[in-house]
């Protein structure tokens, strides 16, 4: 009887030890027939999307305001071809102006002094919307000689042959003949022009000459 009680106590002690002791053997987890469920794959740092990478809404871009076209001052008219070019604060360019004043016989052209185009613009501001008729611009040696033989009083070394002179008249709207060249001469001098000014008042030659040479005056 005593031996039976000792055996029972020993068995009870061993059972308690298996339950409470950390050295107890874990029970086996029975395997299923299928594959074990995979754990969720962590997102790597390179794959992570930060808030800085999310594009912000584009800021509203103000519409560009179109630049206002410059006011027309006058119209340049090539009297030998009737070619017309608007004159304003930006047009024509110096190159276009030189082309408009090319030699009417040979087609040659020469770069013109910028002060001549500036002079025409200054006069056009006084006579808005008028026609500025260009009578003579660049003259080749051939044209200069031809004019001399026809009796025109042209210099053998003309300022026209250097791109330094232009002959013109100003015709306001409604006018047919144009302003008196003597009036234009005064306006040119009033603008502070220091070059040469020639005045032509014949019925066949009704214009003024302006050049960037030395200060001198003739005609009229």
Compute the C-alpha angle 65/68/71, nearest 5°.
175
Q: Are strands 74-78 and 130-136 parallel, antiparallel or unpaired?
A: parallel
pLDDT band at 191 (very low <50, low <70, confident <90, very high): very high
Domain assignment present for 215: yes
Contact 83, 101 (CB under 8 A): no
Q: Mean pLDDT of all residues in the chain?
A: 81
What is the predicted pLDDT for the residue at 170?
A: 98
Rounded alpha-carbon distances, angstroms, from residue 154 to 22, 105, 205: 127, 16, 13
Domain assignment present for 2: no
What is the predicted pLDDT for the residue at 43?
A: 47
> Bridge partners of 19?
none
The DSSP-derived string for 33-73 is SSPPPPPPPPPPTTTPPPGGGSPPPPPPPPPPPPPPPPPP-
Domain assignment present for 132: yes
In sign, the C-alpha dihedral spanning 122, 120, 113, 99 is positive
Domain assignment present for 40: no
Does a cis peptide bond (omega within 30 degrees of 0) precede residue 83?
A: no
Can you give the CATH number for the domain in which 198 is found? 3.30.1380
Rounded alpha-carbon distances, angstroms, from residue 49 to 40, 42, 53: 18, 14, 7
**Domain range enclosing 198:** 74-219
What is the predicted pLDDT for the residue at 51?
A: 52
Q: How many other C-beta atoms can be found within 10 angstroms of the C-beta atom of residue 37?
A: 7
Rounded to two decimals, what is the model's pTM? 0.68
Is residue 27's pLDDT more than 70? no
What is the predicted pLDDT for the residue at 158?
A: 86
Query: Which of 22-26, 114-118, 122-126, 212-216 is predicted least confidently?
Result: 22-26
Domain assignment present for 112: yes
Write out the two tokens for 172: 């306001």
Domain count along the chain = 1
Contact 83, 91 (CB under 8 A): no
Domain assignment present for 129: yes
What is the predicted pLDDT for the residue at 149?
A: 74
Domain assignment present for 164: yes
Span 182-209, average pLDDT: 96
Rounded CA separation 202/39 (Å): 108
Domain assignment present for 34: no
Span 176-195, average pLDDT: 96
pLDDT tens for each residue of 89-145: 999 999 999 999 999 989 999 999 999 999 999 999 999 999 999 999 999 988 877
Is residue 70's pLDDT more than 50? yes
């Amino acid at each position: 009887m005593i031996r039976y009680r000792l055996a029972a106590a020993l068995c009870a002690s061993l059972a308690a030890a298996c339950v409470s002791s950390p050295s107890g053997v874990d029970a086996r987890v029975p395997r299923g027939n299928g594959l074990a469920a995979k754990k969720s794959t962590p997102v790597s740092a390179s794959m992570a999307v930060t808030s800085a990478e999310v594009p912000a809404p584009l800021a509203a871009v103000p519409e560009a305001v179109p630049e206002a076209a410059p006011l027309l001052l006058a119209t340049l008219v090539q009297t030998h071809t009737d070619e017309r070019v608007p004159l304003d604060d930006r047009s024509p360019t110096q190159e276009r102006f030189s082309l408009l004043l090319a030699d009417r016989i040979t087609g040659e052209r020469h770069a013109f002094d910028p002060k001549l185009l500036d002079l025409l613009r200054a006069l056009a501001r006084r006579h808005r919307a008028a026609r500025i008729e260009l009578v003579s611009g660049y003259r080749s040696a051939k044209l200069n000689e031809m004019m001399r033989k026809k009796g025109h009083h042209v210099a053998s070394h003309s300022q026209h042959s250097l791109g330094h002179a232009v002959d013109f008249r100003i015709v306001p709207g409604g006018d047919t003949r144009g302003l008196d060249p003597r009036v234009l001469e005064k306006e040119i001098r009033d603008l502070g022009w220091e070059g040469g000014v020639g005045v032509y008042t014949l019925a066949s030659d009704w214009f003024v000459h302006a050049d960037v040479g030395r200060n001198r005056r003739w005609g009229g």
